[in-house]
A and B are shown apart, each in its own frame.
Chain A
Amino acid sequence: MSQMSSTQHTQPPILEVKNLETSFKTRHGWFKAVDDVSISLYPGRTLCVVGESGSGKSVMSRSILQIVDAPGKITGGEILLHTDFGDGAGHSTVNMIGMDPRGKQVRAIRGDDIAMIFQEPMSSLSPVHRIGDQIGETLRIHMGMSKKEAIARSVELLRMVEIPNPEEAVKRYPYEFSGGMRQRAMIAMALSCNPKVLIADEPTTALDVTIQAEILELMRSLQKAHNMAILFITHDMGVVAEIADDVAVMRHGKVVEKGDVYSVFASPQHDYTKSLLHAATQCEGPSDRRLAMRERRPLGDPILEAVALRKEYVITPAGFRREAKTLLAVKDANLQLRDGENIGIVGESGSGKTTLARCIQRIHSVSSGAVLYTDRQGNTRDLAPLTKPDLKEPWRDMRIIFQDPFGSLNPRMTVGQIIAEPLMNHGLGTPVEQRARVAELLDLVGLPGSAAERYPHAFSGGQRQRISIARAIAPNPRIIIADEATSALDVSLRTQIMDLLLELQEKLGLSYLFISHDVGLVRYFCDRVVVMYKGQIMEEGETEDVCTNPQHPYTQSLLSAVPIADPTMRASKTRTRYVEG
């Protein structure tokens, strides 16, 4: 473990967590989710706790406020909160452990001395209470303000977090805000009582990168203004590099490494930290495997082409003396996928990237334009006007992998049945042949043959995604559409899955349409990239060209918002905002 450079800590810590242990009661006894964790928070500094899902980082942060959910219990350690009475009149230290989690003492600390913000800005706010009411509540609890005073102060707070027209915004409901605005409102709520410590549990994970960059910037400036200590929970090394002063790496409930951000990134001590950093930096350049593969086998002729593809949704149909209200989801998109090529479609949520892919696959109908597909025999057909029965063959050649490894597998079917399903649907082979094919496919995606008899719940997220891949390649397709196929996975798993996809590409001669909001993944995986914004393709080109020398202002702003996993780059980076017009 590297020593913390104590010279930077000019002030004593405000919050010390010592040997914290939080356990969950299971049928097999107590499971330690947080195991002997010690961290310290200093005024004006940000400690990033980084780790993958299940590392206990979230439980740890909740333990501080004693809001761990039911079967969880703090079973040991100390949480020391040092508060001073201002003007140097002296200070007191309280140990928060031992306080009744429902009692007055700890409630007086929650929201007042220590405030918290959460990942899901939608569900973390009550949908039926006004923003002003929810922010003002904290003020009324801790500062004894009247309803009117609280609302007036809420307006100021909303202004502080740069929400436009705050007088109106206090009267709004959360669902009337965008994700980024909601997270700003959450921050306003958390900061209402000038807390000394702010705990942020993955506050930007659910947001688009450009919004994430704005929120991080906001948090930094507010920290400076209020001299707050921030405990920032994240799984993203890029975000750590952007915002952290100190880093603690958690794995299996333990802190495996801690230190200041520069030394941890420059010389990681623990193997796990190294692997996390490796996984993060890997995505900042192309995959070597891919480049080598292209050397061996150059790209072939175009096999799938979208020509001026347009998709309009009718919101309200045309009526008497009224024109139909429509939403243009994809505006005249042109795309060309060559044999053996990987094309990335990158864009933020709502940019139309998934719709474009669904139109190309012809799961959605197409408003206008053509989808030209060249089959194995070299015959080119336009899929756009075809109907279901005629699409059966192209559909066999074009398979999809979805984002959610939990929702996309039927929990009541065995893995063998799941993988064999497309074979059965297309009437490929006898049951015996299908079983043999399933075994072969499982082997291809790196799962044991015994997996066929088991149900999806027995597998982890990464393994489930392998099952999805096996299902996709079962009917021997030529094109795979991977719709955020790695987004729900931990960083270290993402590259594994992408490497698997590349391996399959080499073995089976596949081409990929890779949809992602993450520029890093696209850079690693794709030969060419298409950047979408509001249904329109803004820029298209070789991935490396687009990433290193973006032409369109939108691409520039998107790339400038992507966090880079190198804290020394912080100062040299300038972020641009894209303004339409």
Chain B
Amino acid sequence: MLGYIVRRIIWSIPFFFAASVLAYIIIQAPPGDYVTSLAARMVSEGNDMDPSRIEALRIRFGLDDPHPVQYFRWITGAIQGDFGQSYEWDRPVSELIGQRMALSVILAFSTMLFTWAVALPFGIFSAVRKYTMGDYIITFIGFIGLATPNFLIALVLMYIGVVHFGSDVTGLFSSEYVNADWSFAKMLDLLKHMIIPVVIIGTSSTASLIRIMRANLLDELQKPYVVTARAKGLSETKLLLKYPVRLALNPFVSTLGWAFPQIISGSTIVAVVLSLPTADPLMLDALLTQDMYLAGAFILLLSALSIVGMLVSDILLALVDPRIRYR
């Protein structure tokens, strides 16, 4: 088991290297570099730039160095948390992302908890009571949840919130807390504001998870080991949770890997609509304005999160399913 984990961790290193090279190439892909775009900006603002100063800047930033050297400088910086400077915001990328990342993680984590807490019991119920009224109702709601784009739900809920309750549902903080220091009251305020985004972002994944759980469990319920457990004299509930549900959960564990990159990019449109101060809108911005260091940092983070996510889900899968370890 330990060997398996170590092997998986070692394997993720070349993956990460490949991803970072790709991210670097994407940053470098557009013509020009930071200094040429700075010069262009100065010119457009009416300030001519002295060619010797441009040259000095190039040397200072090391932009004439060969690519491997530049890559190495960038990646060693990135590993230490220095992702370079954002042109658009004129602030260090790490500072920009750092603020929003925490909120993104909290939001993504809450959404996942919500999704699992709702989807698993409903999925189990739906499978065990197959073709009953309850199953049909859950299936119907599930299909609606799957078919409705979540930004639409966001808009509808915003409308209802404003028109019927006179409250603003956007953002994650009330105005008095936005710039306040962290306190218990601010936490409460955040929790209150999070409910709607969590429900909106979680709807479609909850719906699909219910369907997946139902299908998985229906397969498992047919298996002979369920009959064996019943013949031992186990009670139905205990039996259900110990055997078929346990096995039906395995595919879920492997989906955990995808959940990680979702922290940054899972809810972009909703975050824009609800003007949430999370990382998603910032990433969208960075891509639209070709703010390359910022975008590059996001790309690198996304790949790193995917790799870490896969690593975590692989290790978890090996923990819950002993068969994996031996293959």
Chain A interface residues toward B at CB < 8 A: 62, 65, 67, 69, 102, 107-112, 115-116, 118-120, 123-129, 137-138, 141-142, 173, 175-176, 186, 189
Contact = CB atoms under 8 A, between A and B. Distances in A.
B227 A118 contact: yes
B35 interface: no
Contacts of A65: 230-231
B220 to A, nearest CB: 10
Contacts of B234: 107, 137, 141
A125 B233 contact: no
Contacts of A120: 224
A173 B247 CA distance: 14
Nearest to B322: A173
B224 A124 contact: yes
Given A123-B225, A125-B225, A127-B323, A115 B231 contact: yes
B247 A126 contact: yes
A176 B322 CA distance: 10
B223 A102 contact: no
A110 B225 CA distance: 15
B272 to A, nearest CB: 43
Report the 7 A-B pairs with minimum CB-CB distance, sorted nearest first: A110-B233, A111-B232, A111-B233, A116-B231, A124-B224, A107-B233, A123-B224
A128 B246 contact: yes
Contacts of A123: 223-225
Nearest to B227: A67
B225 A126 contact: yes
Contacts of B140: none
Given A128-B246, A173-B322, A189 B232 contact: yes
Between B231, B243, B250, B320, the greatest number of chain A beta carbons within 10 A of the residue's beta carbon is seen for B231
B323 A126 contact: no
Contact of B235 (A67, A107, A142): A107
Contacts of B246: 126, 128
B95 interface: no
Given A128-B246, A128-B247, A173-B323, A118 B224 contact: yes
A110 B231 contact: yes
A39 B53 CA distance: 103
B212 interface: no
B226 to A, nearest CB: 9
Contacts of A102: 235-236
Contacts of B229: 126, 137
A127 B246 CA distance: 11
Contacts of B250: 128
Nearest to A120: B224
A479 B49 CA distance: 88
B233 A112 contact: yes
Contacts of B233: 107-112, 138, 141-142
30 contacts: A62-B227, A67-B227, A109-B233, A110-B230, A110-B231, A110-B232, A111-B232, A111-B233, A115-B232, A124-B225, A125-B225, A126-B229, A126-B246, A127-B225, A127-B322, A127-B323, A128-B250, A128-B320, A128-B322, A128-B323, A137-B234, A138-B232, A141-B232, A141-B233, A141-B234, A142-B233, A173-B323, A176-B326, A189-B228, A189-B232
Nearest to A141: B233
Contacts of B55: none
Nearest to A130: B322
A18 B235 CA distance: 27
A540 to B, nearest CB: 37
Contacts of A62: 227
Between B229, B235, B246, B323, the greatest number of chain A beta carbons within 10 A of the residue's beta carbon is seen for B229
B126 to A, nearest CB: 15
Contacts of A109: 233
Contacts of B322: 127-128, 173
A176 B250 CA distance: 19
Nearest to B222: A69
B231 A111 contact: yes
B321 interface: yes
A108 B235 CA distance: 10
A503 to B, nearest CB: 39
A137 B228 contact: no
A126 B232 contact: no
Between A127, A142, A176, the greatest number of chain B beta carbons within 10 A of the residue's beta carbon is seen for A127
Nearest to A62: B227
Given A128-B247, A142-B233, A118 B228 contact: yes
Nearest to B232: A111
B28 to A, nearest CB: 35
Nearest to B320: A128
Contacts of B236: 102
Contacts of B321: 127-128
Contacts of A141: 232-234
Interface in B210-262: 223-225, 227-236, 242-243, 246-247, 250
Interface in B175-215: none
A138 B230 CA distance: 10
Nearest to B226: A126
A22 to B, nearest CB: 15
Contacts of B323: 127-128, 173, 175
Contacts of A126: 225, 228-229, 243, 246-247
Nearest to B230: A67
Contacts of B227: 62, 67, 69, 118, 124
Contacts of A110: 230-233
Contacts of B230: 65, 67, 110
A138 B239 CA distance: 12
Between A109, A126, A142, A186, the greatest number of chain B beta carbons within 10 A of the residue's beta carbon is seen for A126
A123 B247 CA distance: 13
Given A123-B223, A173-B323, A137 B232 contact: yes
Interface in B56-113: none
B107 to A, nearest CB: 33
A115 B322 CA distance: 27
Contacts of A107: 233-235
Between B225, B232, B235, B321, the greatest number of chain A beta carbons within 10 A of the residue's beta carbon is seen for B232
Nearest to A68: B227
B170 to A, nearest CB: 45
A125 B228 contact: yes
A560 B244 CA distance: 41
A36 to B, nearest CB: 25
Contacts of A119: 224
A578 B225 CA distance: 33
Contacts of B247: 126-128
A124 B243 CA distance: 11
Contacts of B326: 175-176
Contacts of A175: 323, 326
A120 B247 CA distance: 18
Contacts of B231: 65, 67, 110-111, 115-116
Nearest to A139: B232
A124 B228 contact: yes
A110 B227 CA distance: 11
B131 to A, nearest CB: 10
A109 B230 CA distance: 11
A125 B226 CA distance: 8
Interface in B284-327: 320-323, 326
A62 B273 CA distance: 58
B17 to A, nearest CB: 22
Nearest to A133: B242
Contacts of A108: 233
Contacts of B224: 118-120, 123-124
Contacts of A137: 229, 232, 234
Nearest to A103: B235
B7 to A, nearest CB: 15
A468 B320 CA distance: 43
